[in-house]
Amino acid sequence: MADQTSDDEVFDFSNIEFTREDLVQALNDMIHEYKSLSHTFEEIKAENASLKNSSAESSSDELEDTDSLKTELSKLRIENELLRSESSELKAEVEKLTKEMSSWTQSARAFHKLQEIQKSVHDRTGLGFSNSESSEGETSTQSQPAYDKFNKMSFVKANVIHDCFESITFDDQNSPKQNDNGKAGIGF
């Protein structure tokens, strides 16, 4: 009867038809099958553990990569903020220096114009004077009418020369200051 056993077969050990040898054979077959299943189970269990480990390793590798990327991104954001801050500071400094240069340029123009005005007032080498006489301060008899005419023309007002701290306007500014005659600029 042991030869006729199948997987679905149920043994009734209380049946007297079974001999002791049949029972031993059936038990040996069961033990053999148990060992085979147990070995297969251990292989599957080991394979499953291996898959879990490789999955965990790849997950941990991915997590490490993700953490590394997050750290790098954080560093780049901080660096970006620092660069923006530095850029803003540089823009402010450039604007300040531009205003300062504009102020210096206007001051240089005013100084140059003031020098030209003072030079033309104190210059005695021009109308009615000869070079040799200008150092002595005397005029020639022939140039006296020209000198009188020069004094009466009054090209530059005296108050422009005397007050160095007065605000001077330029022709290139938007709203020129006009004098009593309605004329604008230096020298009127």
Alpha-carbon distance values, 147 to 21, 120, 121, 125 (Å):
158, 14, 13, 12
Mean pLDDT of 148-162: 50
- For residues 169 and 184, the answer to whether their CB atoms sit within 8 Å is yes
φ and ψ at residue 178, rounded to 5 degrees: -105, 145
Mean pLDDT of 123-152: 52
At 52 the pLDDT is 82
154, pLDDT greater than 90: no
At 82 the pLDDT is 93
Tell me the whole-structure pTM to 2 decimals: 0.32
Better-predicted residue by pLDDT, 120 or 181:
120
For residue range 34-76, what is the model confidence (pLDDT) as tens digits? 999 999 999 999 998 888 887 777 777 777 788 888 899 999 9
Kindly report the number of other CB atoms within 10 A of residue 121's CB atom.
Answer: 13
φ and ψ at residue 184, rounded to 5 degrees: -115, 160
CA pair distance 19, 27, nearest whole angstrom: 12
Mean pLDDT across the chain: 72
- For residues 11 and 26, the answer to whether their CB atoms sit within 8 Å is yes
Among 2-6, 50-54, 130-134, the range with the most confident prediction by mean pLDDT is 50-54
